[in-house]
Structure 1
Amino acid sequence: MPKPPASNYADIGNLGEDLVSQWLEYTGWEILHRRFSCRWGEIDIIAQYHDKKDAATEKTANYQNSILAFVEVKTRSAGSWDAGGRYAITPQKQAKLYSTAEFFLAQYPEKADYPCRFDVAIVFSQRLSKQFERSIFTPKSPPSLSIAGYNLKLLEYIPAAFDN
């Protein structure tokens, strides 16, 4: 069997996560972890949002004014078989994310009382004809990142994506 060609899918996925992390930080979120993993799976981004109004008046933020988001990032190019990554988030994948989030909360019990949600970010990746030597992040709608010969755009950010 011939050896398959070298793939850069992991790099593209990392670039998509970079874009989403930069956008989250730009919109006021604090990135707690990237690629948090345990034996049950991996969570691409774990972020926390603090209500700045209440945090400014209190020395420690009240957990009721914060949100903890476990973010799954799907980066795809045009014509992907899974609707830009939406079909890849199966019930089995959701179960792995729940188990990994439970492990995270066990590791960081001070976060266990925070309201939690599972978000999904859909990122579109397009190969550029010229290589970019520098990174260009554009936070305006839609947020985009041009780097390493790719242009990535955050097409959709779905908060609380697993809620019925």
Structure 2
Amino acid sequence: MANLPPSHYPDIGHLGEDLVAQWLQSTGWIILHRRFASRWGEIDIIAQHDGQTGEKLLTQHSLRAKRPATANSTQHSLLAFVEVKTRSSGSWDAGGRSAITPQKQAKISRTAGIFLAQYPEKADYSCRFDVAIVYCQRISKNQTAVIATQEALATSSTAEYKFKLQEYILAAFDSSIDNG
């Protein structure tokens, strides 16, 4: 069988990000940006969660020192800067976990600082850095075996691939940036 050009294959990473964005929305998050880019790097998903149910979420790490609530009460608002890693079985980097190096964390942190500078109305929100691990499997037309796998948080599929959100790591890494 001939090798097909790269343009023939769907962008697996973007499909994994789509799954994570849909899952976040289904759990009450608002997607503010997808693939937010700066000269420092890119953040796959920037999401916001508002409301009284945020108490547990607010216990997570914060980018900036907590400030007193303002008149518009942003105390219950939370921003999540989400890095999505989509991998197939047998990936070399522990399903994407080991790809979140200190250098990658620094790039994400700097890009988050750029985002907060561009949207100063969100600068007082609590922030955290999350990582989503998505497993991707090519669907074989001849596949008949039943394989037991870990329960997924969410799933989706295309004609050729099945995606599973296997793990969503809250506050996967901590960072302190000064946006001022």
What TM-score results when the alignment is normalised by the length of structure 1?
0.82
SS at 1:129 equivalent: coil
CA contact (8 A) 1:74 1:123 kept: yes
Report what 2:168 is aligned to: 157
Q: Does structure 1 residue 101 correspond to structure 2 residue 112?
A: yes
Q: Does structure 1 residue 90 correspond to structure 2 residue 101?
A: yes
Q: Does structure 1 residue 16 correspond to structure 2 residue 16?
A: yes
Deviations 1:107-132 (A, max 9, x none): 000000000000000000000125xx
Report what 1:71 is aligned to: 82
1:148, CA displacement in angstroms? Answer: 3.7
Aligned-residue RMSD, C-alpha = 2.3
Deviations 1:67-93 (A, max 9, x none): 100000000000000000001000000
Q: Does structure 1 residue 122 correspond to structure 2 residue 133?
A: yes
SS at 1:70 equivalent: strand
Q: Structure 1 regions of 5+ residues with no counterpart? A: 55-59, 131-139
Worse-superposed segment, 148-157 or 87-96: 148-157
- Whole-angstrom CA distance in 2 between matches of 1:71 and 1:159: 9
Report what 1:39 is aligned to: 39
Identity rate, percent: 68
- Whole-angstrom CA distance in 1 between matches of 2:73 and 2:20: 26
Quick check: which has more Rg, 1 or 2? 2
**Aligned partner letter, 1:29:** W
Comparing both chains, which one has the higher relative contact order based on Cα–Cα distances under 8 Å and sequence gaps of 6 or more? Answer: 2
1:6, CA displacement in angstroms? Answer: 2.3
Would the alpha carbon gap of residues 16 and 36 (structure 1) be closer, same or farther in structure 2, given more than 3 Å must change?
same
- Whole-angstrom CA distance in 1 between matches of 2:35 and 2:140: 30
Question: Which aligned segments of 4 or more residues in structure 1 are displaced greater than 6 angstroms?
Answer: 7-10
- Whole-angstrom CA distance in 2 between matches of 1:52 and 1:151: 35
Report what 2:157 is aligned to: 146
Q: Structure 2 regions of 5+ residues with no counterpart? A: 55-70, 142-150, 176-180
1:149, CA displacement in angstroms? Answer: 1.2
